[in-house]
Chain A
Amino acid sequence: MSLLQAIKNTVRSKSIHVSYVDVGSCNGCDIEVLACLAPRYDIEQYGIFVHNNPREADVLLVIGAFTPGWEEKLHVLWEKIPDPKAAIAIGNCPISGCLFDRPHTFVDAPVSKHIPIAAQVPGCPPRPTEILSAILAVAPVVFKDFEVRTR
């Protein structure tokens, strides 16, 4: 890895763009992710920008147990995110299906069957501070040894 690339990676790991996708949750984790934006937790002072545009994102927050409506769509969404990228599972639902993974359900948990998951934040729902620290823990790992592929 060239020195220039190493500097780029260090700098980029300090400014993360985050996108979130709800693949069938109860909404509880969504509002905890939104609460991270609040001035009390202030996600932006850590250099994390919640933009919710997959084409500009570095980190994807996956919320919710996997529903059939996302069968073909979540993979396409994951492909749209440019390299390097990481997905974080927020809440119990993407990890185990929580209490939706029972007989007669429609969900197809865990989400790690469908896209690679880098980190998991358990809780129903997790606190905003836990979500924040998970994103901060993943950020340096995502960019650590990244090199632009040359043709």
Chain B
Amino acid sequence: MKRMVDVSIPLGPVHPCWKEPARVKCETKGEYVVSAEVELGYMKKGIERIMRGRPWQEVMFLAERVCGICSVIHNMVFIEALEKVSDIPVPDRAALLRVVVNELDRIQSHILANFSYCYTIEHETLGMYLLDVREMVMDELERITGARVTCAYIIPGGVRFDLRNEDELRLRANLLAIEKEVTRYMRMFEHGPLIALRSKGIGVLTREAAREAYAVGPTARASGMPEIDRRLRHPTYQKLGFTPVSRDEGDNFARIMVRFQEVLASIGIIRTCLDQLPGGPIRGGGIPGAGEIAYSGEAPRGELSYFIRTDAAGRVLDISIQTPSIMNIEACCHYMLTGAASLADVSSTFVSADPCIACTER
């Protein structure tokens, strides 16, 4: 069958609104987008190939650099897989500190994603407000872990640094300020009439489509699938009584609102952790040994799975990583972009799914 297409418009790889290079080819009929296709391959570094045959001490730092935005969760999932393989116990205090740092990382990642969306729909003011809040979160991350982005905080059998009492007080004080600001900006986003025109009812991903495309993370939770949150299966989160956020609309607006609500939920989780934080050591003993395991955790963008096989010396013989963005990108181009009413909505819809090209291609 011959398809009638007016013009094929490529967006990217260097695009004013995207952080990373990707190419979206849109076949359009007037303003109507007939089909869209995402072309990747600008960031392929071959991290898994480098990792094979190396000791875990090196793989730990490589795993962190799979993705710079959500580096803590990559660190956490790899180390927890390693601990499961070789039965290394984790002290209670360290387990809760891991959750604190992981949730801080999730907060900054979600705020960055929402900044990108606001920037793409040309609401620069709200975007700048959000970036300002993000700096406060980065300060807290830096104070606890010692680095802003790639902090290598989590190590087998515990964490690297303890949370001092004065840092805990500062963290609590800053969490209050962050919560107040984020609530204010969430209200601005929720009630902004121009934001609603650019966001509501655009790029709709229905629950059925999300299920078919295996969408994960906030993208799926905005389509009414709260059960896919992997934090529900994590022992520490289960103890904290975690409930996932979800919405039913499935449009760009819902995806951004889910991220705002998750930021507030994460602040609640951090507070619960700090309340329950016991005394005691932050590092146990243990030597990584031989075994193989598939283990997954919830990254800011969705489910992240690691498969590792190690030998008795702690070398990683085989590793494969599945990152969340690849599913969301497919869901984005097959369900959200196809049939979009206007070409102007393509970049904002693409950004609202929060694609992370670096961890997609590795």
Q: Does B50 contact A26, Cβ atoms closer than 8 Å?
A: no
Q: Which residue of B lies closest to A77 (CB)?
A: B14
> B residues within 8 Å of A by Cβ?
13-16, 19-21, 41-47, 49-50, 52, 58, 61-62, 65-69, 71, 112, 115, 128, 131-132, 134-135, 138, 148-150, 356-359
Q: Does B134 contact A38, Cβ atoms closer than 8 Å?
A: yes
Picked from A99, A107, A125, the residue with its CB within 8 Å of the CB of B61 is A99
Given A99-B62, A99-B65, the answer on whether A27 and B45 have CB atoms closer than 8 Å is: no
Given A40-B135, A51-B16, A67-B42, the answer on whether A28 and B71 have CB atoms closer than 8 Å is: yes
Q: Does B131 contact A24, Cβ atoms closer than 8 Å?
A: no
Asked if A58 is at the interface (CB within 8 A of a chain B CB), the reply is no
Q: Does B358 contact A26, Cβ atoms closer than 8 Å?
A: yes
CB within 8 Å of B: which A36-86 residues: 37-40, 51-54, 64-65, 67-70, 73, 77
Name which of A27, A99, A100, A124 has the most chain B CB atoms within 10 A of its CB: A27
Chain A nearest CB, measured from B116 CB (Å) = 8
Picked from B41, B68, B69, the residue with its CB within 8 Å of the CB of A69 is B41
Given A27-B356, A38-B132, the answer on whether A52 and B15 have CB atoms closer than 8 Å is: yes
Q: Which residue of A lies closest to B112 (CB)?
A: A31
Q: Which residue of A lies closest to B138 (CB)?
A: A35
Q: Does A27 contact B14, Cβ atoms closer than 8 Å?
A: no
Inter-chain contacts of A31 with B (CB < 8 A): 19, 68-69, 112, 149
Chain A nearest CB, measured from B52 CB (Å) = 8
Chain B nearest CB, measured from A19 CB (Å) = 7
Asked if A146 is at the interface (CB within 8 A of a chain B CB), the reply is no
Q: 9 extra interchain contacts, Cβ-Cβ under 8 A, other than A28-B150, A106-B46, A107-B46? A: A21-B14, A23-B21, A31-B69, A34-B19, A37-B131, A38-B135, A64-B43, A105-B45, A106-B49
Distance of A98 Cα from B65 Cα, bound (Å): 10
Q: Does A100 contact B50, Cβ atoms closer than 8 Å?
A: yes
Picked from B14, B67, B149, the residue with its CB within 8 Å of the CB of A125 is B149
Inter-chain contacts of A51 with B (CB < 8 A): 16
Name 15 A/B residue pairs within 8 A (Cβ), A-sorted. A26-B67, A29-B68, A35-B131, A35-B138, A38-B128, A38-B135, A54-B14, A64-B43, A67-B42, A99-B50, A100-B45, A100-B50, A102-B50, A107-B45, A125-B150
Q: Which residue of A lies closest to B124 (CB)?
A: A37
A: contact size bracket: 35 or more
Given A32-B148, A35-B135, the answer on whether A105 and B46 have CB atoms closer than 8 Å is: yes
Q: Does A69 contact B44, Cβ atoms closer than 8 Å?
A: yes
Inter-chain contacts of A65 with B (CB < 8 A): 45
Chain B nearest CB, measured from A41 CB (Å) = 8
Distance of A77 Cα from B14 Cα, bound (Å): 9
Distance of A23 Cα from B41 Cα, bound (Å): 11
Given A35-B131, A100-B50, A105-B49, the answer on whether A69 and B42 have CB atoms closer than 8 Å is: yes
Chain B nearest CB, measured from A23 CB (Å) = 8
Inter-chain contacts of B131 with A (CB < 8 A): 34-35, 37-39
Name which of B46, B58, B134, B357 has the most chain A CB atoms within 10 A of its CB: B46
Asked if A104 is at the interface (CB within 8 A of a chain B CB), the reply is yes
Q: Does B20 contact A22, Cβ atoms closer than 8 Å?
A: yes
Chain B nearest CB, measured from A69 CB (Å) = 4
Chain B nearest CB, measured from A29 CB (Å) = 7
Chain B nearest CB, measured from A24 CB (Å) = 5
Q: Does A105 contact B66, Cβ atoms closer than 8 Å?
A: no
Asked if A12 is at the interface (CB within 8 A of a chain B CB), the reply is no
Distance of A54 Cα from B16 Cα, bound (Å): 10
Q: Does A26 contact B148, Cβ atoms closer than 8 Å?
A: no
Q: Does A27 contact B150, Cβ atoms closer than 8 Å?
A: no
Q: Does A39 contact B128, Cβ atoms closer than 8 Å?
A: yes
Q: Does A21 contact B45, Cβ atoms closer than 8 Å?
A: no
Q: Does A106 contact B149, Cβ atoms closer than 8 Å?
A: no
